[in-house]
Amino acid sequence: MDIGITLIVQMLVFGIVIWVVMTFIWPIILGAMNEREKKIAAGLAAAEQGQKDLSEAKSRADEVIKEARVRAQTIESQAQTRANQIMEEARKAASLEGEKALGLAKAQIDLESNRAREQLRGQVVSLAVAGAKRVLEKEIDAKTHGELLDQLAAKL
């Protein structure tokens, strides 16, 4: 066989192989490649959407954190205000209790002082009677002179 015929036959076989590949195999390969390309494009789009969602979620989270901080500061200031009010009320209540205790102590002191005065008056009266008894050296009738002694005690 001649090299020219072999070359022509090989070219014909090569052409048939190319035709078979282009007709039957190539569309399958292109279909798989197109499907793979679509999957990759969908994956990239999903990744981009995921990035957008992530950035939106981060911004929403930042907003929520800011709101929470503001609310926490508001609650803290309200708690501080309420604590100050409670302390002021406690001071006022303690002041009132102190004034009450002081008033009661003054009343008790007045009562004790009046008792002591009455006891002293009684002692002065008995001393006066004893002194008058010695001065007069006679018996003094307590009933008759009781009114005079009561007047004397009232003046003291």
Torsion of CA 86, 90, 91, 93, to 10 degrees: 140
Specify burial of residue 99 (Cβ count, 10 A radius: 0-12, 13-18, 19+): exposed
Answer for the pair 138, 117: CB distance below 8 angstroms, yes or no: no
* pLDDT tier, 78 (very low <50, low <70, confident <90, very high otherwise): very high
Q: What's the CA gap between 129 and 125, in Å, rounded?
A: 6
- pLDDT of 156 reads 65
Q: What's the CA gap between 68 and 99, in Å, rounded?
A: 46
- pLDDT of 50 reads 93
What are the backbone angles phi and psi of residue 140, rounded to the nearest 5°?
-110, 135
- pLDDT of 23 reads 94
Quick one: DSSP state of residue 141? Answer: -
pTM for this predicted structure: 0.43
